[in-house]
């Protein structure tokens, strides 16, 4: 049995803490995963995991082997890239993103990516729910927002930023009046995205005069900005939405800017991947295409900004679910 295959299986078992979850993420049967683990333990002559009815845990030998296995698997991928050459990229990459950010920032980057790397296959999952990088077998997750847990098993690489602006339909503003100050927002119906608010029903806005914190009465809430945009177009209230999402609506007069001197603080967009995938040849061109594509989705102004090359931080602890809050 291939030792590298056994290593990859063991690393996935260690990360998920479960043979069944590791099997699902690897798209293998539970029996196949169990056989690979048993064969690896027989070859090493020591147990790597302690089995219980609730969860698997690593032995001391298992923790040491996991660290070395992650390092070796990363070295193998880097060696493969060196031999193949930097321009030859082949294989499959599973990318997940929220529906809104996916349609407006990820999908437009795919044609350019396909033209540069015809051997690269991208499986794109667009869902407004948290995806588990390990259990769902996701290679790269595009996430919006800062709330990423500190860890050493997942890397978050900044690929861009944008701001959110206040908008409403002309019909709503004619009926309720145009807010002239941040305080007047409190008497208006508002459409909120709870996952991006510091507190439910709280909007933090910044302008030349400094920061404004406004508590609003959320008439409706949704985790998908596309849905909030539709509600704003229907005249149901004032919404705080990404500028790239409403640029065309503003240009065509379907929406109007409210308090145009104010906007949200910059919202980061990050790409998350497992630490053992650092340096994988299949991920590098996807990250590059995302960075290049974000500014092109601006639709005027600079709502989506490219990130500094190489900016990264680690997120998600190994003993927790390997996903952060899903936004965008």
- At residue 311, the pLDDT reads 37
> Which two structure tokens, joined as six digits, stand for 85?
């050459």
Q: Which residue, among 115, 158, 113, has the nearest Cα to 273 in the 3D structure? A: 158
- Region of poorest pLDDT, from 231-245, 267-281, 290-304: 290-304
Structure confidence by residue, pLDDT tens digits, 128-144 = 777 777 767 788 999 88
Q: How many whole angstroms separate alpha carbon 121 and alpha carbon 98?
A: 20
Proportion of the chain above pLDDT 70, given as a percent: 82
- Region of poorest pLDDT, from 85-94, 251-260, 292-301: 292-301
- At residue 308, the pLDDT reads 38
Confidence band, pLDDT 50/70/90 cuts, at residue 87: low
- At residue 27, the pLDDT reads 81
The SS3 call for residue 174 is helix
Confidence band, pLDDT 50/70/90 cuts, at residue 318: very low
Structure confidence by residue, pLDDT tens digits, 279-309 = 778 888 999 999 887 754 443 333 334 443 3
- At residue 124, the pLDDT reads 92
Instruction: Supply the pTM of this predicted model.
Output: 0.67
Show the domains of the chain with their CATH numbers: 3-83 (1.10.10.10), 85-162+267-315 (3.40.190.10), 164-257 (3.40.190.290)
Q: How many whole angstroms separate alpha carbon 302 and alpha carbon 317?
A: 34
Contact 120, 95 (CB under 8 A): no
- At residue 85, the pLDDT reads 55
Task: Scan for tokens 């595009």, then name that residue.
Answer: 142
284 vs 322, residue with greater confidence: 284
The pLDDT of 248-252, averaged and rounded, is 96
The SS3 call for residue 292 is helix
- At residue 128, the pLDDT reads 78
- At residue 86, the pLDDT reads 52
Q: What phi and psi, each to the nearest 5 degrees, are found at residue 225?
A: -60, -35
Structure confidence by residue, pLDDT tens digits, 146-190 = 655 445 678 888 888 899 999 999 999 999 999 999 999 989 999
Structure confidence by residue, pLDDT tens digits, 302-317 = 333 444 333 333 332 2
């Amino acid at each position: 049995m291939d030792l590298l295959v056994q290593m990859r299986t063991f690393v996935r078992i260690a990360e998920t803490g479960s043979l069944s979850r590791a099997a699902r993420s690897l798209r293998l049967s539970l029996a196949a995963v169990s056989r690979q683990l048993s064969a690896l333990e027989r070859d090493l002559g020591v147990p790597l995991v302690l089995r219980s009815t609730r969860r698997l845990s690593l032995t001391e030998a298992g923790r040491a082997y996991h660290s070395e296995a992650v390092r070796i698997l990363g070295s193998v991928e880097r060696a493969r890239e060196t031999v193949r050459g930097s321009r030859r990229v082949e294989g499959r990459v599973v990318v997940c993103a929220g529906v809104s950010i996916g349609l407006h920032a990820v999908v437009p980057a795919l044609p350019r990516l396909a033209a540069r790397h015809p051997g690269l296959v991208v499986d794109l999952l667009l869902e407004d729910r948290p995806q588990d990088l390990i259990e769902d077998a996701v290679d790269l997750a595009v996430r919006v927002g800062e709330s990423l847990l500190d860890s050493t098993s997942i890397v978050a690489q900044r690929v861009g930023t944008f701001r959110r602006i206040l908008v409403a339909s002309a019909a709503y503003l004619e009926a309720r009046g145009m807010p002239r100050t941040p305080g007047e927002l409190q008497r208006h119906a508002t459409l909120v995205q709870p996952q991006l608010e510091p507190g439910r029903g709280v909007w933090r806005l910044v302008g030349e005069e400094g920061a404004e914190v406004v508590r609003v009465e959320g008439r409706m809430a949704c985790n998908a900005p596309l849905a909030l945009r539709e509600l704003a177009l229907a005249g149901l209230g004032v919404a705080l939405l990404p500028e790239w999402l409403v640029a065309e609506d503003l240009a065509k007069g379907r929406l109007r800017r409210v308090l145009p001197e104010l906007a949200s603080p910059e919202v980061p967009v990050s790409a998350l991947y497992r630490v053992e995938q650092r340096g994988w040849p299949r991920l590098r061109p996807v990250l590059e295409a995302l960075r290049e594509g974000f500014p092109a989705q601006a639709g005027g102004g600079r709502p989506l900004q490219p990130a500094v090359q190489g900016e990264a931080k680690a997120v998600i602890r190994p003993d927790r679910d390997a996903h952060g809050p899903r936004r965008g």
